[in-house]
Copies of this chain bind each other. A is one copy, B any other.
Amino acid sequence: MKVGVIGGSGYVGGELARLLLPHPEVELTTVTSRSNVGEFLFTVHPNLRGATQLKFTPPNISQISDNCDLVFTAMPHGKSLELVPQLMETGIKIIDMGADYRLHNPADYDKWYNWKHTHPELLDEAVYGIPELHREEIKNAKLIGCPGCMSTATILGLAPLVKAGVIEKNRIVADVKIGSSGAGQKPTIASHHPERAGGVRPYNVVTHRHVAEVEQELNLLTDEKVTVCFTPHAVNMIRGILSTIHAFLKEPQSTKDIWKYYRSMYQNEHFIRFVKFKKGPYQLPNPKITMGTNYVDIGFELDPRTRRIIAFSAIDNLMRGASGQGVQCMNIMLGFEETTGLECQGYHPM
């Protein structure tokens, strides 16, 4: 199978190239970038030195359709809107890494993104690319809206609790900590090393767009309307997300009960690890241990005193929060073993 990456000069595009180049079932034929046409991939992604002589090409639809059976579109939000329908017409399968095809309700784009979706007809067709929740739909999908990084961690941490109906639906807090690569490769003052290193910066604390996805997905699991209070914090790490989920139990629950809910959804999921240990510094999920991997590390603690559950969901934002999950979707769409090319076990320490 021949695959391509449209928008290959960013961190997500580079990570896709890193994963696809050695993937045994696909051939990466095309990586486009308007700003780097003609340059070697490794000029922008220095880790690819020695791995490939591939060069960036311009995003030409007919060349792409000639050379690719499936493409990943890794564009800034809003930039895939028109490109995706054009590519779909050629019959190519698409995994869109941006936000343009994640939400099913066009009105949510007005509300959360402040723009009108120009192809609402595709929003029904697009599958939200979390395999643990939509594996069957992904198998037959022509268009995947690959989830946001913080959304992925938060949805997967919350889904079993919401589905089980054991938490108060309007008192859910997701306090998220995220590394600097989450903001992309364009330098800004907020990601300038002297400003970013050594602090904790709350941002978009009530209006982050990932809320829309999180609530969309959780509300598919329950009849009661769920709202999520979602507050991201930029912390001093490069990769990684920890979503700390504070929720209040309707009735007291035992640890065993809670595990039952998690297991009922994730028991056979290769990429979900349950993390709740009694010794050492890694008793609960820590994104550090997921770096480079496609794992979602999930754990929790009960606080009977306040009838609260604190659940933790940790991922590598560029892997499970973006490119790794995209490749996982591709594997499912193309009928490969779901873990192919995603075997990295992580590092200790890194």
Query: Which residues in A have some Cβ–Cβ distance to B below 8 Å?
Result: 11, 14-15, 18, 21-22, 43-51, 170-171, 173, 175, 177, 179-181, 185, 187-203, 205-206, 227-229, 231, 233, 235-240, 242, 244, 246, 248, 270, 273, 275, 277, 279-289, 291-293, 295, 297, 301-303, 305-306, 308, 310, 312, 314, 343-350
Q: Are B301 and A201 in contact (CB under 8 A)?
A: no
Write out the residue numbers on chain B whose beta carbons fall within 8 Å of the beta carbon of A346: 47
Residue of B nearest to A187 (CB): B187
Interchain CB contact under 8 A, B171 and A197: no
The answer to whether B202 and A237 have CB atoms under 8 Å apart is no
Given contacts A281-B190, A281-B195, A349-B195, contact A200 B291 (CB under 8 A): no
A180 to B21, CA, bound (A): 31
> Hey, which chain B residues are within 8 Å of A282, CB to CB?
46, 201
A207 to chain B, nearest CB (A): 8
Provided the pairs A180-B197, A238-B350 are in contact, do residues A51 and B305 lie with their beta carbons within 8 angstroms? no
Write the chain B residue with the least CB distance to A282. B46
A232 to chain B, nearest CB (A): 10
**A345/B177 in contact, CB under 8 A:** no
Q: A46-B289, A200-B314, A206-B302 are in contact. List 17 more A-B contacts (CB 8 A).
A: A18-B348, A47-B346, A49-B289, A49-B297, A175-B175, A181-B194, A185-B192, A185-B195, A189-B281, A192-B192, A194-B238, A197-B237, A201-B282, A206-B308, A228-B306, A236-B236, A238-B350
